[in-house]
Amino acid sequence: MAAIPALDPEAEPSMDVILVGSSELSSPVSPGEGRDLIAYEVKVNQRNIEDICLCCGSLQVHTQHPLFEGGMCAPCKDKFLDALFLYDDDGYQSYCSICCSGETLLICGNPDCTRCYCFECVDSLVGPGTSGKVHAMSNWVCFLCLPFSRSGLLQRRRKWRGQLKAFYDRESESPLEMFETVPVWRREPVRVLSLFEDIKKELTSLGFLESGSDPGQLKHLDDVTDTVRKDVEEWGPFDLLYGATPPLGHTCDHPPSWYLFQFHRLLQYARPGPGSPRPFFWMFVDNLVLNKEDQDVASRFLEMEPTTIPDVRGGSLQNAVRVWSNIPAIRSSRQWALVSEEELSLLTQNRQSSKLAAKWPTKLVKNCFLPLREYFKYFSTELTSSL
């Protein structure tokens, strides 16, 4: 499957071209409900689409949609913030890029794109029956990849990558360090500093590192006691810093808190300078070995609360980790099953009483790296959740 030619989003042609289904939108017969109301309000009542929620058709607009011209009500804004950067095991986003809902999704055929669109959004905004026509196509290119900006009522915003960052900066209740996504033709391979656990295998299986690639793309350190700022600066610059505490049962020469403090120290060395627009991501994983006091210290040093990522199989908790990270959507409550502190405590006790050392839980955090496809070069591979 060939990728479409690279386009400069700052110099998009102003073409009023509708992908498919152009005739159906021209004269809506009567107002429907929800998103069916959008075409009627725009075509018949001459209402500005910026005054209508693009996601649900509500006229109670709270803000503007960051990717396409149109409004967004407060409930849809919250849903969008929670879900836009959630990914499935196949590497594509879990929800529609317009409404962040949808059960049946159309996937973009551009191999460098991860976006999906639900049937309802496509039919209501481009034209009735459009989803069926797109579904029958062998290589459909989505509304953010097309060389023209308009398809029916769906008008891509200029500089939408910057608009998306501004949207998160403005609308998120607990702002997360957010970077402007990078156009495909400007993405480069990710440079990784991996502390205490080597994640090369996981990143390679996801397509972020090329098999047999220059080992300089990933630097792994088991012990950083003698590592100083000059070392990190000479090895870098890095795009991703990863670190983890050892699982219970593993022999180690340091207390659990040592891994936290060393990670935080090297995080300061690896960060880009103030005001740098360069995307930089980090993740610290606790294998349930930090006590409550250490967890509080981690949250204070890393300036966020952790997200618990569980492995629930057969209705029982098999494994879990606590994660602090600035990777988009890793803190979304919709992504992970809720696990009580009692369940985590029992899991920890069972691990401590077991004679077998727990395995490094890379399988739990592996897919958390998928949102980085918006920022770094992706080497085609068959994505899978298994190692």
Domain CATH code at residue 301: 3.40.50.150
Inside any domain, residue 237: yes
Inside any domain, residue 28: no
Q: What is the pLDDT of residue 89?
A: 76
pLDDT band at 194, cuts 50/70/90?
A: very high
Q: What is the pLDDT of residue 15?
A: 34
Residue 258 has pLDDT above 70, yes or no: yes
In this structure, are 83 and 150 located in the same domain? Answer: yes
pTM: 0.79
Residue 22 has pLDDT above 50, yes or no: no
Question: Phi/psi of residue 209, each to 5°?
Answer: -125, 135
In this structure, are 266 and 367 located in the same domain? Answer: yes
Q: What is the pLDDT of residue 320?
A: 81
Q: Among 41-55, 185-199, 354-368, which is the least confidently predicted range?
A: 354-368
Mean pLDDT (whole number) for 230-257: 87
In this structure, are 113 and 243 located in the same domain? Answer: no
How much of the chain is in helix, strand and coil states, percent to nearest 5?
30, 15, 55
Query: Regarding predicted confidence, which is higher, 351 or 319?
Result: 319
Inside any domain, residue 41: yes
Of 148, 171, 194, at which residue does a domain stop?
171
Is 72 within 8 Å of 65 (Cβ atoms)? Answer: yes
For residue range 47-95, list pLDDT tens digits in order. 899 999 999 888 999 999 999 999 999 999 988 888 888 888 777 888 9
Residue 13 has pLDDT above 70, yes or no: no
Mean pLDDT (whole number) for 257-275: 92
Q: What is the pLDDT of residue 172?
A: 75
For residue range 275-301, list pLDDT tens digits in order. 788 899 999 999 888 889 999 999 999
| Beta-bridge partner residues of 107 | 116
In this structure, are 151 and 195 located in the same domain? Answer: no
In this structure, are 190 and 95 located in the same domain? Answer: no
DSSP state string for 274-327: TT--S--EEEEEE-S-S-HHHHHHHHHHHTS--EEEEEEETTEEEEEEEEEE-S
Residue 333 has pLDDT above 80, yes or no: no
Of 117, 146, 171, at which residue does a domain stop?
171
The rounded distance, in Å, linking the Cα atoms of 73 and 246 is: 44
Helix (H, G, I), strand (E, B) or coil at 80: helix
∠ CA 264-83-218, nearest 5°, is 40
Inside any domain, residue 56: yes
Q: What is the pLDDT of residue 314?
A: 66
For residue range 347-360, list pLDDT tens digits in order. 676 666 665 556 66
pLDDT band at 239, cuts 50/70/90?
A: very high
In this structure, are 162 and 188 located in the same domain? Answer: no
Inside any domain, residue 161: yes
Q: What is the pLDDT of residue 28?
A: 47
∠ CA 18-48-118, nearest 5°, is 50
CB-based contacts of 231: which residues, under 8 Å, 6+ apart?
none
Inside any domain, residue 292: yes
Q: What is the pLDDT of residue 149?
A: 82
**What domain count does the chain have?**
2
Report the percentage of the chain scoring pLDDT > 90: 28
Instruction: Of 182, 138, 145, give the one whose Cα is nearest residue 1.
Output: 138
| Beta-bridge partner residues of 79 | none
Mean pLDDT (whole number) for 262-272: 95
Range of the domain at 47: 36-171
Of 145, 171, 197, at which residue does a domain stop?
171
pLDDT band at 215, cuts 50/70/90?
A: low
The rounded distance, in Å, linking the Cα atoms of 345 and 180 is: 39
pLDDT band at 217, cuts 50/70/90?
A: confident
Q: What is the pLDDT of residue 352?
A: 62
Inside any domain, residue 295: yes
In this structure, are 228 and 202 located in the same domain? Answer: yes
Q: What is the pLDDT of residue 254?
A: 86
Inside any domain, residue 338: yes
In this structure, are 163 and 195 located in the same domain? Answer: no
Mean pLDDT (whole number) for 148-154: 87
Query: Regarding predicted confidence, which is higher, 126 or 330?
Result: 126
In this structure, are 285 and 345 located in the same domain? Answer: yes
In this structure, are 204 and 303 located in the same domain? Answer: yes
In this structure, are 85 and 226 located in the same domain? Answer: no
Query: Regarding predicted confidence, which is higher, 318 or 70?
Result: 70
Residue 10 has pLDDT above 60, yes or no: no
Lookup result for tokens 């990914």: 87
Helix (H, G, I), strand (E, B) or coil at 64: strand
In this structure, are 163 and 198 located in the same domain? Answer: no
pLDDT band at 5, cuts 50/70/90?
A: very low
pLDDT band at 224, cuts 50/70/90?
A: very high
For the chain, give the mean pLDDT.
Answer: 80
Helix (H, G, I), strand (E, B) or coil at 10: helix
pLDDT band at 335, cuts 50/70/90?
A: low
Angle, helices 74-83 vs 160-171, to 10°: value is 110
